[in-house]
Amino acid sequence: MTGRYWESTLPGAGRRAPRADAVSDAAVLSLNGTWRFRLSPTAAGTGHGFVATDFDDTDWDEMRVPSHWVLEAFTPLVGGPARRMLGTEEGPLYTNTAYPIPLDPPYVSTENPTGDYRLVFDVPADFGPAVLRFQGVDSCAKVWLNGEELGWSTGSRLPFEFDAPVRAGRNVLAVRVHRWSAGTYLEDQDMWWLPGIFRDVELISRPTGAIDDHFVHADYDHVTGLGTLRVDASIDAVVVIPELGIEMPAGETATVSVEPWSADIPRLYRGTLRAAGETVELAVGFRRVEIVDGVFVVNGSPLTFRGVNRHEHHPDTGRTLDRETMIQDIVMMKRANIDSVRTSHYPPHPEFLRLCDVYGLWVVLEVDLETHGFIYEGWEHNPPALPEWREAIMDRLRRTVERDKNHPSIVVWSLANESMSGDGFTEMRRWLDERDPSRVVLYERDPSYRDSDFYALMYPSLELLESIGRREEPRGGKLSMHGMVFDDPDEPLPAGVTEAEEERRRGLPFLLVEYAHAMGNGPGGLQDYWRVLRAYDRLCGGFVWEWIDHGINAVDADGHAFVLQSEDIDYEPRGGRFSLDGLVLSDRTPKPALAELAKAHEVIDIEVGERVRIANERHAADTSDLGFRWSVEADGRVVASGVLDVPPIARGERVETAIPDAAASALRATDAVLTVEAALAAATAWAPEGHVIAWGQKVAEPVEEAARPGRGIAAVASRDGDVIRVGEASFDAATGRLIGLGDLPLDGPWIDLYRAPTENDHGQGDHNNLAAVWRATGLHRLLHRVDDVAVDGERLVVRGRTAPRTHPHGVAWTMTWMPDGDGVRLDAAVDFVGPWADTPFKHRDIWVPRLGLRFALPAAADRVAWFGRGPEETYADSVEGARVGRFERTIDALQTPYPIPQENGNHTQTRWLEVSGDGMPALRVDGEPFDFAARRWTSEQLEAARRPSDLVAGDRVWLNLDHGQQGIGSASVGPALPERYRVPRERTAWSVRLSVV
């Protein structure tokens, strides 16, 4: 059908050629602000009348530009018209791989919410010829100026410009924005569908003699230390870099001695490009990006990305981000030892890249292209494979590269995300080789890797990663939702892959484009990945999935604020909770995982043993910007501290030094810990002086306790009616349960085998769904039976069985209590009985998530102090980022507020613990390192809650003292939790000592 431009496979019409983003002295009129807006249900919009300069829009709605209309209308309202938009085509929608429109390219449904925008603005008389620029419109826009059509465009996260015949004085801009278009088929990224003019709109003056485009070529030779600079310009112009003494015509080359640019030391040389009509600012960074013998090398040394995948997200404004938020992201990343970003899955706002140049982050810049939903048609009609889409795909590449080509931070162009194969990629690659040979190219999803300089995968297991590091990975593989899996070594090569391509692929460096799925409580295993990533030159690092949760601030009908996610919307298809998988929550509160990642990413390795060993693993910098200091904490207080005299360590070098005498003697105190830190000696753009970038610890052995004095209580356990006493402890004679210790009322313990499943416990679909196995095995509905309560001399021995309703399996347990000085000791022994494996439920591998003891304390309990890892939660596979020490927290602060309630707040490797509260004696627990958690609700209540506001304090505090709990892993998308992080289903015995203080 003619005229239906939004269903055209062409990318647009009437637009100017793409060109470099530039900061210049040409006048700019921002057209951001309040526009008039009217939403219509179909692409016809309000009809044609609205383009007229005298159209009366006084009764139209007001709309903030830039914004996504679905969030503007929705966010602040409770129960108003915006709430009704939820779950309709008109509200915010979230899908992961599926298209929200029928798969019928290039057509879209007639239901196609369309926003007509109008703006009346004044142009000063001396403004001159002008260009109108849209930095981003989702998904298709047609534009009229003063009633005259300028053209239309798709490509949501890319700029487009029109020559704009503005008049001095009043002008009228009319823009029609369609939610769905043919462009939608190229934008199936796992994220919210958020239509609107969501980035800046600007009118830029283009005087005669203006610089339309420029290209900075700044190479660095690490052998000679020389930089080579050439700036190409679309017009005669002069390049001036005062610091380098450069003043030369554009197009000429200068070779000068320079410091290179790196994320470690983001050295920029500022200057200008001057033409008759315009001066453009230059921020030049010299660097060379190469693949040398299968290793990724920048400025002569191998580069390892310590990266995250970053979507643009703000919980109020979606993908409309202000500069402060971009800086906040970068500062938080730099402080967490993150040195690189993959711009998943589209070019970010251009300001973000300027900031990356300045602050120092390596960037893998991804083209706005994903066609994942064609998987539902077996990849038939996949646009990158079809000639009719070629122009649109090349348009996306050109607009990306032309806009961003001058940023030293960008070292890799990524052709697309998850779009399978096609000749389109080969054409993209060819164009890049011509236009920008100074960078390397990544494409992960084509199994031939013919257009990629990297071999790349998502979410491989550690074993596979290690074999890739050794260049011994299996051949072949087959394609799964998240890329290649290799479960059969005899698998033939994937269809279409030649032996020659396979041979070439084996020679490529390897990039972990996505790993460690940070959904909910997670990811675990980061240190393991980094032990492998550090060990092999072929592996050039990785990007955690992902930086931030994409939750939307919302308010429920009762006025409670909550974080809206896809399951809150009644709409099919939904992407489930996969929008909540960031290292930071939607409001950018760091999850504990961020500290764990910071530890895994440390580039200064500090090992404190008999001596202190410090290694510099930075890419470029020595350690002259750092100070090294030590401190000994005993019982939570610093008892000695000092400076460690360490000479500057060149990159790749290590030094060793003795533990200072003062530290060694202070380490003899009770609960003493020596910490050595590397901290910034002076403030940087991203952190204050003293910011710690790396640390190592030595924990003193526990001091032998003198025999604990008794309090003259009869050593023999005694029965007094319904109560049995063992030292200070009283037990219910019928149930054998502890009911008090001194004056502290207690209840329990119960054997606990369960935890509220985390997102990662649910696995992916049927794959690795441990939570489903736990349910089928009945772990969430355990009953407890007491078989025997026997006094045996000074001991009380209680025997029983804990088992799920319905099932034949369970655990038999014995709890032996005996007086221990002023407290009581519990020896717990647990044996797994019954046919656990090969049950009729066909779960051959049944692992329990936890093995421990659950106690109830009075609700007055509200503070916890402990010695162990902390203060944030830790798990078996997510622990090294937390220090060892003595910590104190309120019980409320021990809870990590994941927006979907799930297991949280565990603490591993605890030596002792005290729980106290007003008007109650404090409970003290000592033991072999144990896990603890304290909360005002049970695991079952935690599991049942849909939102944090469903969790309400009860009349007890629940304390878990556990022998162990399984790790966290990454199985919601990644591999299964390794066995070493699970709780073995075997006979286990452990002890704890309880006392009141």
List contacts with ligand GAL (CB under 6 A).
96, 190, 417-418, 458, 482, 514, 545, 578, 581, 973
Active-site position among 202, 278, 418, 677: 418
Q: How far is the CB of 482 from ligand GAL (least distance, A)?
A: 4
Q: E-strand spans in 124-268? A: 130-134, 137-138, 140-145, 148-154, 160-164, 169-178, 191-193, 196-197, 201-205, 214-221, 226-233, 238-241, 246-249, 253-257
Q: How far is the CB of 347 from ligand GAL (least distance, A)?
A: 16
Task: Write the CA distances from 891 to 101, 105, 864, 937, 954, integer angstroms.
Answer: 47, 54, 6, 11, 13
For the chain, the first-to-last Cα distance in angstroms comes to 83
Name which of 96 and 304 has its Cβ closer to ligand GAL.
Answer: 96
Q: Which two tokens stand for residue 175?
A: 């823009």
C-beta atoms surrounding 507 within 10 Å: 12
The identity of residue 464, as a single letter, is L
Q: Which two tokens stand for residue 713?
A: 């209580």
Q: Which two tokens stand for residue 979?
A: 């066995």
Active-site position among 370, 402, 466, 514: 514
Name which of 407 and 482 has its Cβ closer to ligand GAL.
Answer: 482
Name which of 373 and 748 has its Cβ closer to ligand GAL.
Answer: 373
Name which of 550 and 854 has its Cβ closer to ligand GAL.
Answer: 550
Q: How far is the CB of 514 from ligand GAL (least distance, A)?
A: 5
Q: How far is the CB of 311 from ligand GAL (least distance, A)?
A: 8
Cβ-contact 248, 181 below 8 angstroms: no
Name which of 329 and 418 has its Cβ closer to ligand GAL.
Answer: 418
Q: How far is the CB of 761 from ligand GAL (least distance, A)?
A: 16
Could you tell me how far CA 14 lies from the centroid of its own chain? 39
Give the phi and the psi of residue 425 in degrees, each rounded to 5.
Answer: -70, -35
Give the phi and the psi of residue 289 in degrees, each rounded to 5.
Answer: -115, 125
d(CA 530, CA 535): 8
Q: State the angle between helix axes of 350-359 and 390-404 in degrees (0 to 180), rounded to the nearest 10.
A: 40
What single string gives the DSSP state of each residue in 613-669? Answer: EEEE--SS--STTEEEEEEEEETTEEEEEEE-------TT-EEEEEPPHHHHHHTTS
d(CA 168, CA 425): 45
Task: Write the CA distances from 305 to 415, 621, 626, 653, integer angstroms.
Answer: 18, 15, 21, 20
The helix (run of H) or strand (run of E) holding residue 122 is strand 114-123
In sequence order, which ranges of 795-926 are alpha helices (DSSP H)? none
Q: How far is the CB of 298 from ligand GAL (least distance, A)?
A: 25
Name which of 172 and 544 has its Cβ closer to ligand GAL.
Answer: 544
607 in catalytic set: no
d(CA 789, CA 799): 7
Q: How far is the CB of 375 from ligand GAL (least distance, A)?
A: 11
Cβ-contact 877, 599 below 8 angstroms: no
Q: How far is the CB of 54 from ligand GAL (least distance, A)?
A: 46
689 in catalytic set: no
At 861 the three-state DSSP class reads strand
Name which of 178 and 345 has its Cβ closer to ligand GAL.
Answer: 345
The identity of residue 663, as a single letter, is A
Could you tell me how far CA 359 lies from the centroid of its own chain? 20
Name which of 142 and 482 has its Cβ closer to ligand GAL.
Answer: 482
Give the phi and the psi of residue 140 in degrees, each rounded to 5.
Answer: -150, 130
Name which of 280 and 973 has its Cβ closer to ligand GAL.
Answer: 973
Residue with tokens 């066909």: 842
Residue nearest ligand GAL, CB atom distance: 190
317 closest CA partner among 308, 327, 325: 325
Q: How far is the CB of 780 from ligand GAL (least distance, A)?
A: 26
Q: How far is the CB of 190 from ligand GAL (least distance, A)?
A: 3
d(CA 596, CA 286): 33
What single string gives the DSSP state of each residue in 701-722? Answer: PPPPPPPPP--S--SS-EEETT
Torsion 31-33-35-40 (CA) sign? positive
Torsion 246-249-253-259 (CA) sign? positive
Could you tell me how far CA 163 lies from the centroid of its own chain? 40
Q: E-strand spans in 839-900? A: 850-858, 861-870, 883-890
Torsion 377-382-383-387 (CA) sign? negative
Name which of 410 and 973 has its Cβ closer to ligand GAL.
Answer: 973
Residues in Cβ contact with 900 at an 8 Å cutoff, skipping those fewer than 6 apart: 520, 565, 577, 580, 759, 946, 947
Give 370's strand partners. 187
Q: E-strand spans in 645-775? A: 654-658, 672-680, 692-699, 718-720, 723-726, 729-732, 738-741, 744-752
Name which of 925 and 973 has its Cβ closer to ligand GAL.
Answer: 973
Name which of 190 and 677 has its Cβ closer to ligand GAL.
Answer: 190
Name which of 418 and 872 has its Cβ closer to ligand GAL.
Answer: 418
The catalytic site residues sit at 418, 514
